[in-house]
Amino acid sequence: MTTHRKKTAGLWTLPFAAVLLLVAGCGTQRAGAAAGAAPSSGPAPSGTAVATPSGPVDFPCPGEGSAPPAPTATDAAPPDRYAENHAFRMPLRLHGQGRCDGLAAEGRVRGALEPLRRSGGFTPAHVHSVLTGLGYPADKVRTYQNGPGGVGFLIDVGASPWCVEGTLTGGSTTVDAFGGYPDGTGCEPPRGGH
């Protein structure tokens, strides 16, 4: 009986020892140390820390000042439960060159719609005509009545997605470019949720 117990103990001892060796080796590389480099004996010098961006990097776009707008407080603040549960309905912000292209599209659309707004009496058909006149395909432009005296619009620019939406009222023209929605519904706001 002693021989059988020794064989059984020996069979599981080898895999157990291998797991212990693997676990003991984990976590020995310090943050910022290169793989294969000797571990440092003290804290890293203050000049060696490398900042890595936590998200996409923006740069100044033509017509902007010297720096892109700073992130808003809602970009950095942790979301509350309501916002977290409805995040799928929040449009994605554009970054990098896409942000610059979005700003240019916002300017073109606003410039084309502003004379229509000032003249008054506009309808969804008028707004649709102006937007298709800018070169957007008719089937990618949706216009609709948005309250009394207002017209809303949504343009699916069609680039992974890339969208322009806004509202035209007697008092203002709002235009916003964005990158679709987190759940991949394209330019249309998602319905439902969790």
Q: Are 99 and 62 in contact (CB under 8 A)?
A: no
Report CA torsion sign: 152, 142, 89, 173.
negative
Q: Could you tell me the two tokens for 185?
A: 């519904």
Domain chopping of the chain, boundaries: 91-178
Tell me the HSE value of 34 on the side-chain side, using a 13 A CA sphere: 3
Query: Which tens digit of pLDDT belongs to each residue from 117-138?
Result: 999 889 999 999 999 999 999 9
Query: Which tens digit of pLDDT belongs to each residue from 139-151?
Result: 999 999 998 889 9
DSSP state of 193: -
pTM of the model: 0.61
CA distance 157 to 136: 7
pLDDT given at position 166: 96
Sheet with 141-145, strands from edge to edge, namely 141-145, 151-156, 163-168, 173-178
CA distance 166 to 168: 7
